[in-house]
A and B are shown apart, each in its own frame.
Chain A
C-alpha cells in the first residue's frame, strides 16, 4: 500500500524565519512527488518533482527530491504571514492509473 508521511505535523515560526518541511514516501510505481499549498479551500499546486537532486524554485519557495532515500523537502525562506497554510505532499503512482497518495499535511503558522 502506498504511503506518504509528512513532518512535522505543525510548525509555528516568526516572520523572516526559514522553514523546512519534510515528506517521505513509499510508492510501488513512483513517478513524481508533488507539493501543494492549502489555505481555506482547495489545494493549489506548488511543485512537481520527478528527477532526483534537481531543485525547483519559485520565489522564496524551493523543493528537492531524493529518490534514493525516498524523501523530499520544501524550503520557505524569509517567511511571511501569507505563507501560513497547510502544505500537502503527494506521491504520484506512475502505474496505469496515475493515483496520488497524500500525506496528512504540515500546518505552518507564521506569526508577525
Chain B
C-alpha cells in the first residue's frame, strides 16, 4: 500500500514569489492535513480538508491556503513568500471514518527554502 506522496520534495524560492505543494494521501484516506515544521516552532497545524472542504484551520495568515480535489489529493499554496516561510511542509492523511481515533500518517515532506 503506497504511503502519502508529496511533491516536490525540495524547492527554493525567493521572497515575494508563490509556491504550490501537492499531496496524494494513502488510498482510501479521505482526510488530508497540512503541518509546517520549523526548528523554532516545531510542528504546527495549518489546515485539514475532508470531502473537498476545509474542516479546520490553524493560526496562519491568509497567504497560506489549500484545497482538496474529488480524488482526495490536496494542494497548498503560499503566496508572497517571506523568509520565515522556510520550513518543512508535511502532509498527513487519515481515514476519518469508522473507528477513527485520529492517527495521522505523514508524507516525506516538501522542504521549502525562501531566499
Real binding pair: no
